[in-house]
């Protein structure tokens, strides 16, 4: 038994992918033209001349579970195979896996690799382009009775759903509560306390300038000396009798001795590529020992690229700049989010930049 297989992650719902698998005209656009036979669930694929194929393939559908499973028996000039197509829903759309196994006969070494390459190219290039085209056909460009407009309707994550709106309201309330708490602490620190009558004696009345004799009556060590009249100088007595009440400053711990927590890190990769766009993945990691409540990842798209949808984060868009925020990252943990990008040019370029907290992301 020899097997050929390939799979692809698609940013389209399973129903749309199922339509591309079973509609005769659509199948001809991304894989091979097909003729429907007189018998139900039978057709002929015009594969003669394609890489890895010797002749046309007669197909009979043996099992069908919409939109999850399609099983077929194939006959290519006496070589018999079984083809299984499995569609699995994902957060970004769905995953399509196609597997072909020989049941009678085999492929030569010259046929196996080109045949598998033909299947992979059809799944990763032509099929996504057809699905994008189908999605565009379903966009309603009309806005009420105003006629056509050049502005496309907002779809996907550009319009916040109820759950995302609630999350954003909770985040705003938390930020405002934190601001009030910080302002209260700052006011408590800077407000003066109650006056201390013992620690702050009233200022002494100004005394006349001392004469030369009184100045000489005070020894350098502060010991009172007698004046010519035989009595101690009042100035010296007051200087020695009253201890100073000036508070002694206490050393405060140096802020430099407290190590700063390590910054968040982020890693970018292209999750899946297609003819007119791609899906990007960003993993935000917290290497520190305490959870981080707020994080910001900024992605700059290439010129000509447009943002489509996001999963796992909130987003604000400013031209080609996308600012992503999300829930807290636990100590030693991570958060992952995905975003879809469309581009009218084949082989769309990946983002020009990515930062987390102002630091560059890995992988860009």
Region 108-129: mean pLDDT is 88
The predicted pLDDT at position 49 comes to: 86
Q: What is the residue range of 63's domain?
A: 3-137
Last residue of a domain, one of 85, 113, 137: 137
Residue 159 lies in a domain: no
Residue 124 lies in a domain: yes
Residue 186 lies in a domain: no
Residue 189 lies in a domain: no
What tokens does 250 get?
């206490």
Last residue of a domain, one of 113, 137, 161: 137
The predicted pLDDT at position 109 comes to: 78
What tokens does 133 get?
């085209």
What is the band of 211 on the pLDDT scale with cuts at 50, 70, 90? very low
Total number of domains constituting the chain:
2
Residue 292 lies in a domain: yes
Q: What residues are paired with 74 via a beta bridge?
A: 59, 81
Report pLDDT digits (tens) over 29-78.
999 999 987 777 899 999 998 988 989 999 999 999 999 999 999 999 99
Residue 98 lies in a domain: yes
Residue 152 lies in a domain: no
- Which three-class secondary structure state does DSSP give residue 146? coil
Report pLDDT digits (tens) over 339-354.
988 876 655 678 999 9
pTM exceeding 0.85: no
Compute the distance between CA of residue 290 and CA of residue 299 in angstroms, rounded to an integer: 26
57-65: strand order across its sheet: 3-10, 94-104, 79-89, 69-76, 57-65, 42-45, 34-36
CATH of the domain at 286: 2.60.40.290
Side-chain-side CA neighbours of residue 173 (13 Å): 6
- The listed range with the strongest mean pLDDT (20-24, 191-195, 308-312) is 20-24
Place of tokens 């917290």: 286
The proportion of the chain whose per-residue pLDDT surpasses 90, expressed as a percent, equals 38
314-318: strand order across its sheet: 314-318, 321-325, 296-300, 353-356, 359-360
Last residue of a domain, one of 121, 137, 153: 137
What is the band of 179 on the pLDDT scale with cuts at 50, 70, 90? low
Residue 75 lies in a domain: yes
Whether the per-residue pLDDT at 16 is higher than 90: the answer is yes
Region 261-274: mean pLDDT is 82
CATH of the domain at 58: 3.30.530.20
């Amino acid at each position: 038994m020899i097997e050929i297989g390939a799979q692809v992650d698609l940013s389209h719902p399973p129903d749309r992918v199922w339509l591309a698998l079973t509609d005769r005209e659509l199948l001809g656009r991304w894989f091979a033209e097909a003729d429907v036979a007189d018998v139900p669930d039978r057709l002929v694929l015009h594969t003669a001349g394609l890489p890895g194929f010797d002749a046309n393939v007669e197909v009979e559908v043996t099992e069908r579970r919409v939109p999850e499973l399609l099983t077929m028996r194939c006959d290519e000039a006496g070589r018999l195979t079984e083809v299984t197509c499995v569609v699995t829903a994902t957060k970004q759309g769905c995953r399509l896996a196609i597997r072909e196994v020989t049941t009678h006969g085999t492929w030569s070494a010259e046929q196996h690799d080109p045949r598998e390459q033909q299947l992979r190219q059809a799944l990763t290039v032509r099929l996504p382009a057809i699905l994008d085209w189908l999605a565009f056909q379903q966009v309603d460009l009309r806005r009420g009775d105003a006629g056509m407009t050049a502005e496309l309707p907002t779809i996907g994550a550009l319009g916040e759903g109820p759950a995302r709106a609630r999350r954003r309201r909770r985040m705003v309330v938390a930020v405002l509560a934190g601001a009030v708490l910080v302002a209260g602490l700052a006011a408590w620190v800077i407000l003066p306390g109650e006056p201390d009558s013992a620690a702050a004696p009233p200022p002494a009345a100004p005394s006349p300038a001392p004469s030369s004799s009184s100045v000489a009556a005070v020894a350098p060590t502060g010991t009172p000396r007698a004046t010519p009249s035989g009595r101690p100088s009042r100035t010296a007595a007051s200087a020695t009798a009253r201890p100073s009440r000036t508070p002694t400053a206490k050393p405060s711990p140096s802020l430099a001795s407290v190590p700063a927590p390590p910054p968040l890190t982020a890693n970018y990769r292209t999750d899946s590529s297609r003819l007119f766009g791609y899906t990007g993945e960003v993993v935000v990691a917290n290497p520190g020992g305490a959870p981080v409540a707020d994080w910001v990842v900024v992605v700059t798209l290439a010129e000509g690229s447009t943002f489509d949808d996001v999963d796992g984060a909130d987003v604000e868009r400013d031209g080609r700049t996308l600012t992503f925020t999300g829930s807290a990252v636990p100590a030693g943990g991570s958060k992952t989010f995905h975003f879809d990008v469309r581009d009218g040019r084949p082989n769309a370029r990946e983002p020009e930049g990515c930062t987390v907290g102002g630091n560059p992301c890995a992988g860009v």
